[in-house]
Amino acid sequence: MKNVSNLKFLIALTLCASIVGCKRSSNSGNVDSATGWKINDKKGGFQYNTQFKEQETPPGTAFVEGGTFTMGKVQDDPMHDWNNTPNQQHIQSFYMDEHEVTNLNYLFYLDYLKSVYPPDDPNYALIYNGALPDTLVWRNRLGYNEMMTENYLRHPGYANYPVVGVSWIQAVEYANWRTDRVAELSLQEAGYIKRDAQYTDVSAESTFSTDTYLHAPTQTYGGNTEVLEGGKRRQQTDAEGNPINVYASRESGLIPVKYRLPTEAEWEYAALGMSELRQYNVHRGRKKYPWDGQYTRSGKRVNRGDQLANFKQGKGDYGGIAGWSDDGADITAEVKSYEPNDYGLYDMAGNVAEWVADVYRPIVDDEFNDFNYYRGNVYTKNAINEDGSVKIVTVDEIVYDTLPNGKIIARDLPGEIARVPIDEEDTYLRTNFSKSDNRNFRDGDKRSSRFYRQSFDEGEDKSTTGKMYNSPKHSIQVDSAEGKLIREYDKSDSRTSLINDEVRVYKGGSWRDRAYWIDPAQRRYFPQDMATDYIGFRCAVSRVGSKSNKSSKRRK
């Protein structure tokens, strides 16, 4: 009997060994569990980062664990705006800048543009000029503010103050630029590209773009092989002498997730700082500020009575009485001047209001979506050449857009991949989206998505009457002969709204606002191509993988 048992054991062992990857697939991260084939084999094949643990916190940001919360006004509404009615939303985890983008941060961006695209070169002057903040926002017809006009952006005394005079469009462009710089440094540190290439090898014809590196890596830096092959990984070869991992792919885990503006839902969720009070807020809806309590002054013994944010305390009172009950600022304050909320985020109330990504509508359409709510999706794709390659923008192909306010900005910079709207090939028989531009999808209420007037007078223009959001349509174009701007103002007397697809939400109160506006639930809107002296911005980054590091620990 003993021999029979040993024979059965040997047969079972033989059968197990004959199955490809029987034991290896369950114990080795470099073997595909579905087929038993090797991953990251030196002889070639599929390359993948099987050692990836967790997304690193992006530079300058703090982690915000996602969850459910009550978005919108949960207190009384004395203004009767009814544009922030309460609705329950779920937010995925993300990262957000600890503080607003500062003057120093933005000046670093301007210096980069100035060195790569010299404004004294007529080919590039509009690139640098299009990124400059509007310092004239400080002027007041009955106030002397020339000191801020001349000094606020560039003087070292304001280095760590939030940048203002930046439009929503400019804020988005800064976030895109920041994405490329962080990715460029990541690839240098990982040895995929030459160290310090941004100082020695970058020009208008030789730049780094994250998307270009992912889709056409050989054309990054204008195809400069000295930079692309200058990393230490180029020196590694396989058995046949071929270079290993010449270019990093998305599968490497080394390409950082993009910086962007936070959505309105993300910003409000982060501002409330509900890491310890989430359930309390969901069910009872009583958290009014980024700090605990219903008042703007501290109740702690050590600093009792001190203001917890920078805002306008009353008519003609922007900081309190000097030397007593002073909030420390009359205009903006240096970032991190006040205590952070429970997520480690500073100035989520007061100092400057902040741009968020959303297009404004009076109603948040939670009936359609209550997960990562966002209005403003415009889906695009890479432009493709006739030979099937992606179209890279060259110096001679820069396209400039003239904004309604007359400012001219570059649509794409040299070295970037040109983008085009998606078409029917991408939307055919899809159920989750049907067109490229979804900014006015459902439009927040039924009447605004169609003409609610049933009849029109003969010859009456339907585009200016009978529609809910029929905002003014000013026209501006450039005279090709003289290069002058031709402005045509919409003088129609039938316009009934300022809301359109080019107005964006901004959140939080500012140094100019009373305490009513520092409630994170408050929401206002402003044209995306205009700027003020009280709106700044901060960036966000989506989290990939687990909801938090607690999830990965739970699996161990």
Task: Give the pLDDT confidence of 88-145 residue by residue, as tens digits.
Answer: 999 999 999 999 999 999 999 999 999 999 999 988 989 999 999 999 999 999 999 9
Among residues 4, 47, 468, the alpha carbon closest in space to that of 248 is found at 47
Place of tokens 């649509």: 411
Percent of the chain with pLDDT over 70: 80
Average pLDDT of span 237-261: 83
Strand order, beta sheet including 94-97 = 61-64, 94-97, 540-542, 259-260
Among residues 533, 537, 30, the alpha carbon closest in space to that of 318 is found at 533
Q: 429: which DSSP letter?
A: T
Most confident of 306-320, 391-405, 439-453, 528-542: 528-542
Please give the Cα distance from 256 to 210 (Å, whole number): 9
Q: Looking at residue 9, what is its pLDDT? A: 44
Query: Is pLDDT at 14 greater than 60 in this prediction?
Result: no
Query: Is pLDDT at 487 greater than 90 in this prediction?
Result: no
Band (pLDDT 50/70/90 cuts) for residue 311 is confident
Task: Give the pLDDT confidence of 197-228 residue by residue, as tens digits.
Answer: 988 899 999 999 999 999 999 999 999 988 98
Among residues 66, 60, 438, the alpha carbon closest in space to that of 259 is found at 60
Query: Is pLDDT at 366 greater than 60 in this prediction?
Result: yes
Place of tokens 């595909």: 32
Task: Give the pLDDT confidence of 282-302 residue by residue, as tens digits.
Answer: 444 456 777 666 766 666 666
Place of tokens 């390659």: 389
Please give the Cα distance from 418 to 397 (Å, whole number): 10
Q: Looking at residue 298, what is its pLDDT? A: 64
Please give the Cα distance from 134 to 136 (Å, whole number): 5
H helices of 487-548, in order, are none
Band (pLDDT 50/70/90 cuts) for residue 278 is very low
Strands 94-97 and 61-64: antiparallel
Kind and range of the H or E element at 90? strand 87-91
In one letter, which amino acid is 174?
Y
CB-based contact 174:106 (threshold 8 Å):
yes
Range in 235-244, 312-321, 330-339, 423-432 the model is least confident about: 235-244
Kind and range of the H or E element at 78? none
Instruction: Please report the domains of the chain, with CATH numbers, ordered by start residue.
Output: 61-455+464-551 (3.90.1580.10)
CB-based contact 542:92 (threshold 8 Å):
yes
Among residues 390, 386, 397, the alpha carbon closest in space to that of 215 is found at 390
Task: Give the pLDDT confidence of 40-80 residue by residue, as tens digits.
Answer: 887 777 888 888 889 999 999 999 999 999 899 877 677 77
Count of CB atoms situated within 10 Å of the CB of 458: 4
Q: What is the DSSP string of 19-59?
A: STTTTHHHH-TTB-TTT--BSS-TTSS----TT---PPPPT
Q: Looking at residue 34, what is its pLDDT? A: 92
Average pLDDT of span 392-413: 87
User: Helix, strand, coil proportions of the chain in percent (round to 5)?
Assistant: 25, 15, 60
Band (pLDDT 50/70/90 cuts) for residue 372 is very high
Q: Which two tokens stand for residue 86?
A: 């309460």
Query: Is pLDDT at 304 greater than 80 in this prediction?
Result: no
H helices of 91-196, in order, are 103-116, 125-131, 146-151, 168-189
Please give the Cα distance from 136 to 153 (Å, whole number): 11
Q: Looking at residue 459, what is its pLDDT? A: 61
Task: Give the pLDDT confidence of 506-532 residue by residue, as tens digits.
Answer: 999 999 998 888 889 999 999 999 999
Q: What is the DSSP string of 228-272?
A: HT-SGGGG-B-TTS-BS--S--GGGT-SPPPEEPPPHHHHHHHHH
Kind and range of the H or E element at 527? strand 523-527
Please give the Cα distance from 447 to 442 (Å, whole number): 10
